[in-house]
Structure formats: C-alpha cells, structure tokens
Amino acid sequence: MSLLIGDVAPDFEADTTEGRIRFHEWAGDDWVVFFSHPADFTPVCTTELGYTAKLKDEFAKRGAKALVVSVDSVEDHKRWIKDIEETQNTSVQFPIIADTERKVATLYNMIHPNADAKVTVRAVYVIDPKKKIRASIVYPPSAGRNFDEVLRLLDSLQLTDGHKVATPVNWQQGEDVIIVPSLTDPEEIKRLFPKGYKAVKPYLRYTPQPDK
C-alpha cells in the first residue's frame, strides 16, 4: 500500500509501551509525528528517540505529539527505554508500538525489502488533526533523521494552513514568506498583508511572516 499526501492515515489498534491504543482515537485533535525505527537496542535509533523525547515541549507548543513503531515487542521496548533515558539524559514520554507481526509497518509501507526485508526503514509521517497525511519522509536504516527539520516542517504546514503563503527554501520561523501565486487581487493582497511585500517577479512576492 502506498500512502500519498492528502490521504487519510489508516486507523489501527496496537499494543504500545503505554497500553493498547486505537490510533485515530489516541491522536484526537493533535498533529501526530508518526515514525518508524529499524530495531531496538541499535545506536542510531537510541539517539533519535532520545532527541525526540527532548522535543516534547516543542511538539506541545505546536499541538503535536510523537508516536513510534518498530517490529520489536513491548517488553523489548521497555527495556530499551531504560538505555535511551540513561545514555541520552532524557525521559521517554511517548508510546512505542510493538509491531512484531509487521501489520502497522505494512499498512504504512514502512518495510522496503530492497533496503532490508527484516526491519522498517526510517519513515516519518506528519498527520494533521483531520487524520490527513500532510508530509512523509523516508530515510534508509543507516541514516539518522533531522528532527529539527520535522519541527520546521510542522511550522510551515501550520503557517500555510492559516495564511495564503508558502515558505521558501531553508525558511525558519520569523523569516519572510512567499505570497501564493493564485492570489492576484491587489485589494485582497493589501488586506491580507498590511506589512506590504516585495515583488522580485510577478509570481515571486516576499512578505513578512503574517503571524509575527
């Protein structure tokens, strides 16, 4: 199954380190950063989950929370969490799904046989409160992810949902954004962007971030 941006994220039930969950019910009205890791007790994953744990407050500021899946058991997850907390100096406070039968991983296309048939690749799905997939990123098992980029992506999605703008290359919070090309009425542009804008080309118009 191939999941595309705009698709409804499939619902499922699964056992986790925080008890059994039904995904859509657990997600509630929050954004969800749902990601897979190849296996417990592995070095790259240990650093990733440790860093994610440290981002709990940053996720909360954005109305978001993390959910993790791998093909290991709840018992293994719980033993591994102790290692994560010890080595990364943090407290893991998000559920890790036990997917020993690979049902969730298969549902979300996280098993890539040509990379490794036995483990999940490093997939990331950003899912909005309507349960729509808004973005996906896939890394090979060997490459650790950049979770600062995931936060930046969340910021962009939430900003562009609320305003008729897009974010340019390497955009960060507080920097100028781009007025969407479909917006052409001068009066509407003036009303929506009272700080003004700079037109480099008719289709390339920079304006200060409207919610700042």
Determine what percent of the chain is predicted with pLDDT higher than 70.
Answer: 96
- The crossing angle, in degrees rounded to 10, of helices 43-54 and 74-88 is 70
146-201: pLDDT as tens digits:
999 999 999 999 999 999 999 999 999 999 999 999 999 999 999 999 999 999 99
Cβ neighbors of 133 (< 8 A, separation 6 or more) are 3, 4, 5, 6, 7, 8, 9, 125, 126, 127
46-76: pLDDT as tens digits:
999 999 999 999 999 999 999 999 999 999 9
* 45 assigned to active site: yes
106-152: pLDDT as tens digits:
999 888 766 665 667 789 999 999 999 999 999 888 889 999 999 99
**Confidence check: pLDDT of 78 > 70:** yes
Phi, psi dihedral angles at 129 (to 5 degrees): -65, -20
Confidence at residue 117, expressed as pLDDT on a 0 to 100 scale = 57
DSSP assignments along 52-97, one per residue: HHHTHHHHHHTTEEEEEEESS-HHHHHHHHHHHHHHHTS---S-EE
For residue 9, count CB atoms less than 10 angstroms from its CB and return exposed for 0-12, middle for 13-18, buried for 19 or more: buried
How far is 32 from 48, CA to CA, in rounded Å?
A: 16
**3-class secondary-structure state, position 15:** strand
Amino acid in the structure at residue 124 = V
How far is 29 from 34, CA to CA, in rounded Å?
A: 15
Confidence at residue 120, expressed as pLDDT on a 0 to 100 scale = 72
**Confidence check: pLDDT of 30 > 70:** yes
Confidence at residue 201, expressed as pLDDT on a 0 to 100 scale = 96
Instruction: Pull the structure tokens for residue 44.
Output: 């790259």
**Confidence check: pLDDT of 16 > 90:** yes
Domains observed in the chain:
13-145 (3.40.30.10), 163-207 (3.30.1020.10)
* Catalytic member of 27, 32, 45, 151: 45
pLDDT range class, residue 1, cuts 50, 70, 90: low
How far is 210 from 176, CA to CA, in rounded Å?
A: 9
Q: What is the DSSP letter of 27?
A: H
- Given the structure tokens 């008719």, which residue do they identify? 202
92-108: pLDDT as tens digits:
999 999 999 999 999 99
